[in-house]
Amino acid sequence: MASRYVLGRQALRRVLEKLPKTAKAKLQASMTQSANELADLQRSRAPEKDGTLKASIRVEPFTKGGIGALVKAGGPTTTKPVRKGQSATYDYAMAQELGTQDMLANPFFFPSYRQSKTKIKRRASKAVRLAVEEAKK
């Protein structure tokens, strides 16, 4: 039995697929704006030792071509060896966010998201509503 959340998500996907290109472009612009604002907030909260972690926070488009944007932190620039001489590595963006056995967590990513989540959802809902109204005309 599918949950209401999944059914609502599938219905939303069907509506979004039927939207004209101009409405999709406006919705994408809204989502990109929210993602950029979230990334800016995360950069302002990220610990700054040498600036690498802040520089690693970025906004990327969906790889599958959908509407939206991804906010990511970390990656190759923040990946370090666990110990010198070992091949195992860790991403210190994750270590900062979640902590390690030797270091307390210094979260910057998810607290920023939780603070912004309502605003992001509200903006997305408004953009979808306006896009659907525009598509009906």
Q: Over the stretch 37-86, which tens digit does the pLDDT of each residue have?
A: 999 999 999 998 888 999 999 999 887 777 889 999 999 888 888 877 77
Instruction: Please name which of 108, 2, 1 lies closest in space to residue 49, comparing C-alpha atoms.
Output: 108
pLDDT for residue 130: 83
- pTM > 0.85: yes or no: no
Contact 59, 130 (CB under 8 A): no
SS3 89: strand
pLDDT for residue 26: 82
Please give the structure tokens belonging to residue 61.
Answer: 């488009």
Q: Is the dihedral of CA 84, 88, 94, 99 positive or negative?
A: negative
Contact 54, 106 (CB under 8 A): no
**pLDDT reading at 2 higher than 60:** no
CA distance 83 to 81: 5
CA distance 61 to 19: 19
Q: Over the stretch 79-133, which tens digit does the pLDDT of each residue have?
A: 888 877 778 888 889 989 999 888 899 999 999 999 999 999 899 888 878 877 8
pLDDT for residue 6: 54
**pLDDT reading at 35 higher than 90:** yes
